[in-house]
């Protein structure tokens, strides 16, 4: 059964969710990450304050973040697409493979402990933060993205799998993948908003099924997805995401990479600290 809580706890939780929505919406447009990299640690903290059991807190945080990705990603995708910088050919090649990776990840996530999910989140965040902070023009895997269908399928499935385990919209992985093949950071960010759409639909449904009927879930939860979090945060992120898009197109490429790397390190540090 869902946990019981008093009205004051719900108000405090709502206030924290609103504040996180303001930040995550801007980050969704700025970094193409769907805001999940900030929402997951924020959700983890506020759900703890609300008394949500440790065994499901990280699962609910990731699942709720995934539920928020879709409208935010759609909003960011529309804004980026209007500027003509989204790689539509790449997105079309991933229509099957990213969702496949997502479905597998929701099954894996339901079997991992809260500590295991936090470790996964922190390790991936640190690896890609290092990549962004110390990026060099010589760091290239090739002159352009691979055209092989097999390569595209593997990359798409990997992006969908690990992004879902982190509760993010795919921007962390896709930005790195595209820039390692010489694509501009601005195009990578724009395309990542489309990746978020491909992740959010199967991810949300998968987490609803995986958490259905479990005990100790917070109030207003549908499986692992907390509807209160989704309904409060989505309208705010829809309003603030275009601001992030404008910032992304105004900043130099290298500055955007450094900001993204520092942001990932700060998120990883919070989760590492929670494991100590």
Reported as a single tens digit per residue, the pLDDT across 125-169 is: 888 788 778 877 667 787 889 889 999 999 999 999 999 998 888
Q: What is the mean pLDDT of residues 250-270?
A: 79
Most confidently modeled range among 81-85, 98-102, 249-253, 264-268: 98-102
Provide the pLDDT confidence category of residue 236 given band limits of 50, 70 and 90: confident
Is the pLDDT reported for residue 255 higher than 90?
no
Task: Let me know if residue 196 belongs to a domain.
Answer: yes
Domain contains 2: no
d(CA 62, CA 118): 10
Q: Would 181 be classed as within a structural domain? A: yes
Provide mean pLDDT across the span 238-267: 77
The verdict on residue 153 lying in a domain is yes
Mean pLDDT to the nearest integer, 236-265: 77
Nearest to 203 by CA among 229, 177, 175, 170: 170
pLDDT tens digits for 10-54? 677 777 777 777 776 777 667 655 567 777 877 887 788 777 888
pLDDT at 81 over 80: yes
Ranking 86-95, 173-182, 251-260, 267-276 by mean pLDDT, the lowest is: 251-260
Residue 160 lies in a domain: yes
Cβ contact 215:63 at 8 Å: no
Residue 145 falls in which region: left (phi positive, over 0), alpha (psi -120 to 50) or beta: beta
Q: Over 50: is that where the pLDDT of 1 sits? A: no
| Residues spanned by the domain of 129 | 7-275
Interatomic CA distance for residues 202 and 106, integer angstroms: 9
**Angle, helix 54-82 to helix 149-166, in steps of 10 degrees:** 130
Specify the pLDDT at position 114: 87
Indicate the average pLDDT of the chain. Answer: 83
Which of 230, 181, 178, 183 has the alpha carbon at shortest distance from 203?
230
Closest CA to 158 of 97, 92, 200: 97
pLDDT higher at 76 or 34: 76
Q: Dump pLDDT digits (tens) for 170-217.
A: 887 888 899 889 888 788 888 988 998 899 999 999 999 999 989 888
Q: How many domains does the chain have?
A: 1
Residue 267: inside a domain: yes
**Residue 68 maps to a domain:** yes
Instruction: Answer whether residue 1 is part of any domain.
Output: no
């Amino acid at each position: 059964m869902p946990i019981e809580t008093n009205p004051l706890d719900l108000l405090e939780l709502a206030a924290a969710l609103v504040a996180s929505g303001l930040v995550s919406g801007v980050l969704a447009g700025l970094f193409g990450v769907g805001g999940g990299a900030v929402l997951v640690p924020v959700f983890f903290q506020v759900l703890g304050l609300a008394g949500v059991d440790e065994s499901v807190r990280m699962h609910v945080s990731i699942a709720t973040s995934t539920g928020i990705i879709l409208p935010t990603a759609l909003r960011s995708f529309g804004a980026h697409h209007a500027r003509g910088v989204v790689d539509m050919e790449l997105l079309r090649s991933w229509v099957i493979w990213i969702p496949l990776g997502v479905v597998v990840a929701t099954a894996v996530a339901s079997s991992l402990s809260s500590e295991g999910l936090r470790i996964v989140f922190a390790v991936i965040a640190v690896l890609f933060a290092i990549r962004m902070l110390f990026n060099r023009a010589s760091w290239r895997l090739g002159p352009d993205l691979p055209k092989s269908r097999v390569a595209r399928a593997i990359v798409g499935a990997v992006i969908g799998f690990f992004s879902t385990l982190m509760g993010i919209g795919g921007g962390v992985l896709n930005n790195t993948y595209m820039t390692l093949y010489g694509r501009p950071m601005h195009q990578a960010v724009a395309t990542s908003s489309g990746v978020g759409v491909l992740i959010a639909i199967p991810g949300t449904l998968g987490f609803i099924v995986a958490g259905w009927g479990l005990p100790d879930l917070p109030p207003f939860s549908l499986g692992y997805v907390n509807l209160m979090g989704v309904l409060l945060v989505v309208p705010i992120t829809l309003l603030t995401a275009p601001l992030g898009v404008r910032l992304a197109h105004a900043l130099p490429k290298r500055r955007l990479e450094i900001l993204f790397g520092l942001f990932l390190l700060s998120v990883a540090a919070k989760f590492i600290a929670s494991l100590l």
